[in-house]
């Protein structure tokens, strides 16, 4: 092992995840251990701008028989294969004690980011991404106002390795009649921290990231992006407004624009890392929408990338699936340094138009 890289690679400790209130084992000294696991192929990049049988491209028919309009910006529609919805059986069969069952009510929608089949967040302009953030704001407000909806989960799955069969850039909305476990845990952590310290947990996380500085990828007046100290996945990144708001809907226009710039910056760094379209799961962490007081909750966006090296998946196994805590083979400081070293101009832009061409 080269001496210069030794300090980062030798991190072997347990770090507390203050939002999940659990320990993460960081065993970065193991990263060079022999690996004969499965490799995944890099995503093919050169999709056409329009695909005749894509159910998301403008003007095309979907499986439900509905036809997409010739849309020009962001396009939202009800999912043709909803996991929750009003079409679910109103009275599910009885569940014997101690079991419980109820209707799978709610709303599931799809957000097509753009009519262009061949783009990704990293290849869109920050003003195009602002239009997506504005859609998140509107959908959260509208769906959250429905009496049957307790929480609006918005997310993007990107890449074959997280099971996305259609590369047309899109996200999804699950507006459900229950609240999601991850955000329940975070809400409780935010509240406990406020009770115990009188402070705001996410404000203090941002302050700690500032203080250290090594893991910060992007910052402007309203938004910040960083690899958290307690990252569970290699290349995990949080993108957050600096002001504490419980929902994306509460952002100002200026904050939404900053958030879009941060999302652009992070996704470009991701693609530049291995010169390939970088896969991730990207949930918006939002408070419930059931009318309660959620002033302690700090809305943010998490990027959870499944790859730990080019074409090598992070497998969830005994510690994660079995025990419920994460074992990380990489040091957050080292992964942040790799991302910080990347250009904020997409490699596809520099290859196509020469340096200085910024979309
Ligand atoms: Zn398409």
pLDDT for 4: 44
Is residue 356 predicted with pLDDT exceeding 60? Answer: no
| Rounded CA separation 247/293 (Å) | 12
Query: Is the confidence at residue 7, as pLDDT, over 90?
Result: no
User: Residue 62 C-alpha to ligand 1 middle, in angstroms?
Assistant: 11
Of the listed ranges 4-18, 20-34, 110-124, 327-341, the one predicted with least confidence = 4-18
Query: What is the arithmetic mean of pLDDT over 192-212?
Result: 98
Q: Is residue 143 a contact partner of residue 173, using CB atoms and an 8 Å limit? A: yes
pLDDT given at position 352: 59
9 to 34, 315, 319, 329: CA distances (angstroms): 15, 20, 21, 9
- Find the 69 Cα to ligand 1 centroid distance in Å: 13
Q: Which of the four pLDDT bands, split at 50, 70 and 90, describes residue 272?
A: very high
89-103, 316-330, 340-354: least confidently modelled range: 340-354
133 vs 74, 162, 284, CA distance in Å? 10, 22, 11
Among left, alpha and beta (phi > 0; psi -120 to 50; other), residue 79 is beta
Measured in Å, residue 68 CA sits from the centre of ligand 1 at 11
CA 170 / ligand 1 centre spacing (Å): 9
Ligand 1 centroid – CA 61 distance (Å): 11
Query: Lowest-confidence range among 138-147, 160-169, 196-205?
Result: 160-169
Q: List all residues 6 or more positions away from 65 whose beta carbon is below 8 Å from its beta carbon.
A: none
> In the prediction, which pLDDT does 350 show?
76
Q: How far is the CA of 302 from the centre of ligand 1 (A)?
A: 25
Are the beta carbons of 215 and 224 closer than 8 angstroms?
Answer: no
Residue 125 Cα to ligand 1 middle (Å): 18
Expressed in angstroms and rounded, the spacing between residue 161 Cα and the centre of ligand 1 is 19
Q: Which residue numbers are catalytic?
A: 170
pLDDT at 37 over 70: no
Distance 166 CA to ligand 1 centre (A): 8
% of the chain residues with pLDDT over 70 = 91
Output the CA 75–ligand 1 centroid distance in Å: 12
Cβ pair 83, 177 in contact under 8 A: no
pLDDT value, residue 36: 54
pLDDT over 80 at 353, yes or no: no
Mean pLDDT of the chain: 92
222-225 contacts, C-beta under 8 A, 24 or more apart: 222/252, 222/254, 222/255, 222/257, 222/258, 222/259, 223/255, 223/258, 223/259, 223/261, 223/262, 224/262, 225/262, 225/265, 225/266
Please state the rounded mean pLDDT for residues 200-207: 98
Helix and strand numbers (H, E) in the chain are 7, 14
Position 159 pLDDT exceeds 70: yes
């Amino acid at each position: 092992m080269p001496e210069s890289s030794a300090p980062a690679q030798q991190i072997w400790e347990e770090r507390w995840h203050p939002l999940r209130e659990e320990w993460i084992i960081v065993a970065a000294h193991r990263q060079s251990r022999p690996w004969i696991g499965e490799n995944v192929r890099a995503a093919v990049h050169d999709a056409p701008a329009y695909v005749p049988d894509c159910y998301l491209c403008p003007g095309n028919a979907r499986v439900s028989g509905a036809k997409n309009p010739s849309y020009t910006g962001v396009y939202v529609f009800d999912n043709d294969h909803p996991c929750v919805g009003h079409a679910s059986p109103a009275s599910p069969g009885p569940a014997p004690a101690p079991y419980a069952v109820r209707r799978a009510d709610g709303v599931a929608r799809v957000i097509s980011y753009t009519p262009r089949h061949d783009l990704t967040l990293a290849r869109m302009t920050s003003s195009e991404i602002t239009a997506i953030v504005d859609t998140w704001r509107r959908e959260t407000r509208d769906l959250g106002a429905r009496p049957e909806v307790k929480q609006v989960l918005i997310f993007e799955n990107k890449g074959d390795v997280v099971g996305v069969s259609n590369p047309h850039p899109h996200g999804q909305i699950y507006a459900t009649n229950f609240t999601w476990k991850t955000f329940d845990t975070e809400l409780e952590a935010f509240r406990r921290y406020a009770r115990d310290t009188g402070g705001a947990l996410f404000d203090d996380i941002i302050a700690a990231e500032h203080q250290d500085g090594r893991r910060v990828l992007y910052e402007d007046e309203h938004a910040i992006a960083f690899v958290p100290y307690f990252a569970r996945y290699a290349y995990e990144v949080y993108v957050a407004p600096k002001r504490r708001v419980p929902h994306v809907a509460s952002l100002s226009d200026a904050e939404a624009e900053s958030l879009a710039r941060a999302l652009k910056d992070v996704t470009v760094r991701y693609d530049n890392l291995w010169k390939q379209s970088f896969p991730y799961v990207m949930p918006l962490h939002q408070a419930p929408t059931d009318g309660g007081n959620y002033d302690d909750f700090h809305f943010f966006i998490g990027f959870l990338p499944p790859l730990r090296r080019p074409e090598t998946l992070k497998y969830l196994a005994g510690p994660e699936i079995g025990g419920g805590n994460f074992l990380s083979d990489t040091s957050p400081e080292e992964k942040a340094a790799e991302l910080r070293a990347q250009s904020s101009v997409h490699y596809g832009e520099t290859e196509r138009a020469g340096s200085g061409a910024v979309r």
